[in-house]
Structure 1
Amino acid sequence: MRKFLLLLLLLFCCTPLFSQDTAFKYKGMTINLDEVVVKAKRIGFDVAGFIKRVEEDTTFYRAFKNLRLVGFTADNDIRVTDKKGGKTIASLKSHTRQIMTGNCRKMEVIDEKTTGNFYTKKGDYNYYTAELYANLFFTHGTVCGDEGGSSKGSLARHKNQLKQLIFNPGKPITGVPIVGNKVAIFDRDLMKYYDFSITSEAYTGTDCYVFSATMRKNLNSIDRAEIVINELITYFDKETMEIVGRKYSLSYKTMIFDFNVRMNVQMTKKDDLLLPALITYSGTWNVPLKKRETADFTAKFTEFKSEQ
């Protein structure tokens, strides 16, 4: 009986302490920790340092720019669908190869098949998603340096802002009206709308620390209008602390425009360069002077090579 009472006493004493350990405070943010992370924290895992790393990270966006620096083979699959996302109205499937010579790159089309009105009669892209995809992953002619081509002016600026919105979520975007500051989830004015957590999970065979920011449930319409990122989940290799994957959901709606986008990105490495290996995208856009556009794409990158 004494042993039983002692066990009960220990359970009642220790449970509150463990509960306190699972809630970590950082710059006004409360981060929930799972049991594995709590144990890691007790033996030296720097939770505050890890969060700061997440907050300041720019390697994810840089990984996409690194595609300008290596050769690779790509499987490209773009589908434009009807509003309900069921019927495909235009598509492209292709295999391409990027070849590096010094600081310059060019692209070979190994094979390509399109359906519907994917291209205009002049051979231009008929859809904004396709144009953005091409701007990111295709090269026309020979291009030198790590930029996307010769386009200049407001169109190039808007494309760059859109790429930052999609591939650098969580950071404010200068020059973008309405939504530019609504993506900065670490801002004190926005963090109150999110539930944050650090957990331990295997991702594509890699043991990871997982940082999650998820929009709180049951937000009223006024609060919901203040945010763009619904969910942001980032996977960090426990050994190297490098990003190995990210999942995220973005959406926003006004009287003028709206969008709803989900993406999943898996990373890989070539020598010291972090690079995307697989990207899946599903999204719908409705912007002024254009018809609503709903599209999915999958991009797979393999056979990375240094300059030839």
Structure 2
Amino acid sequence: MFLGLKTASAQEIQRFNPDTLQTIQLDSVVNIKASRLNVETFIQAIINDTSFYQAFREMKKYRFQAENQFYTYDKKNKINGKIYRKINHLTTKGNKVQYLVKQDSGKVFKKNGKYQLYTLEMFDYIFMNAYQSEFSDGSFNAKTADGKNGSYKDKLKTLIFSPGRPVKGLPLIGNKTEIFSANMRQYYDYSFYSATYLDSIPVYRFEVKVKPDLSSWTKDGLMIKTLTTIFDKRNFEILGRYVDMKYDNLLFDFDVQMNIEMRYLNETKLPSKITYQGNWNIPLKKEERASFLILHKDYRN
């Protein structure tokens, strides 16, 4: 949870750590030799999965309540901007969003009304745009973003919803997301555990993590440091995903952690919790430091 986030004044806080590990209770390490499962089973499920993206499309069919908190920080990690939204998502034609609470404070917008930070723009594109648009049957690979930053938004969509796939068109990092390629696998350790998710759902927790004994130079060249995926044992559906990414090159450096969790409404998988914290530094632009917590609840037809 967020700690001590009461105002948007210059207040030092303990940064939010978005990790699925806080949602599940580990039972035991799975004996790979004794199990019918193996590492390749999990890897192929991650690579081929489109259900995370589909869950965000499916949510448009339902009424639900969303509570979104977004914070920006200065170089000393003190809050200098805050966005808070409490929203009812509607399924009627026309306006899809009913604002219950809408608050902004601090350094959020430029004088022209646009967001101060690109991170805020991405947040608005991924979530607010999803709330306000109609459900459609478009594929995961369909382009959805327009404008100056449109292509980068679609690339970010791939990075969030399908880690492990290459992201073409991102300078110097496109192939670094492809952690399951034959060349990249040598740099990672793989483990999976039996666990319980949300107090009742039996799951496997599959973790891909950079090997600790690599040289510092090799570690620095690996963008994805940890990828944790939560699988429902009963149907092998992916219910949770945590990714830790850090990278530094001539064009930019970033340090980002993001977590997405799902819940069921009957047999339908829907997003329930999305958390993010990250620092971005791009030459000739202001460093961006931000975190957010998005909660969806009370899904209903």
What SS does structure 1 have at the residue aligned with 2:96? strand
Measure the CA separation in 1 of the matches of 2:112 and 2:143.
20
Matches within 5 A, 1:102-251: 106-139=96-129, 143-146=133-136, 152-205=146-199, 206-251=201-246
- Which piece of structure 1 moves more, 93-102 or 144-153? 144-153
Measure the CA separation in 1 of the matches of 2:181 and 2:143.
34
Measure the CA separation in 1 of the matches of 2:91 and 2:28.
47
User: Contact between 2:88 and 2:98, CA under 8 Å: does it hold in 1?
Assistant: yes
User: Contact between 2:74 and 2:80, CA under 8 Å: does it hold in 1?
Assistant: yes
Matches within 5 A, 1:264-279: 264-279=259-274
Measure the CA separation in 2 of the matches of 1:171 and 1:105.
35
What SS does structure 2 have at the residue aligned with 1:199? strand
User: Contact between 2:144 and 2:154, CA under 8 Å: does it hold in 1?
Assistant: no
User: Contact between 1:215 and 1:231, CA under 8 Å: does it hold in 2?
Assistant: yes
Structure with the larger helix share: 1
Superposed displacement of residue 69, structure 1: 3.8
Measure the CA separation in 2 of the matches of 1:193 and 1:128.
32
- Cα 1:106/1:289, change in 2 over 3 Å: farther
Structure 1 alignment gaps of length 5 or more = 1-33
Measure the CA separation in 1 of the matches of 2:132 and 2:197.
37
Matches within 5 A, 1:292-303: 292-303=287-298
What SS does structure 1 have at the residue aligned with 2:176? coil
Measure the CA separation in 2 of the matches of 1:176 and 1:166.
14
Letter in 1 for 2:207: S
Letter in 2 for 1:261: V
1:201-247 C-alpha deviation (Å, 9 max, x unpaired) = 22322221111100111422442243211001111111121122122
User: Contact between 1:270 and 1:304, CA under 8 Å: does it hold in 2?
Assistant: yes
Measure the CA separation in 2 of the matches of 1:253 and 1:56.
29
2:281 matched to which residue of 1? 286
Letter in 2 for 1:249: D
Structure 2 alignment gaps of length 5 or more = 1-26
- Cα 1:188/1:140, change in 2 over 3 Å: closer
- Cα 1:154/1:69, change in 2 over 3 Å: farther
Which has the larger Rg?
A: 1
Please tell me the root mean square deviation across aligned C-alpha atoms, in Å. Answer: 2.8
1:90 and 2:84 aligned: no
What SS does structure 1 have at the residue aligned with 2:177? coil
Measure the CA separation in 1 of the matches of 2:75 and 2:215.
27
Letter in 2 for 1:273: T
- Cα 1:88/1:35, change in 2 over 3 Å: closer
2:64 matched to which residue of 1? 72
Superposed displacement of residue 294, structure 1: 0.5
Measure the CA separation in 1 of the matches of 2:130 and 2:113.
13
TM normalised by structure 2 equals 0.79
- Match for 2:54 among 58, 62, 76? 62
User: Contact between 2:58 and 2:135, CA under 8 Å: does it hold in 1?
Assistant: no
Letter in 1 for 2:157: K
Measure the CA separation in 2 of the matches of 1:149 and 1:92.
28
Superposed displacement of residue 249, structure 1: 0.3
TM normalised by structure 1 equals 0.78
Measure the CA separation in 2 of the matches of 1:78 and 1:203.
26
Matches within 5 A, 1:5-84: 37-38=30-31, 42=34, 45-47=36-38, 48-84=40-76
- Which piece of structure 1 moves more, 218-227 or 128-137? 218-227
Superposed displacement of residue 55, structure 1: 3.5
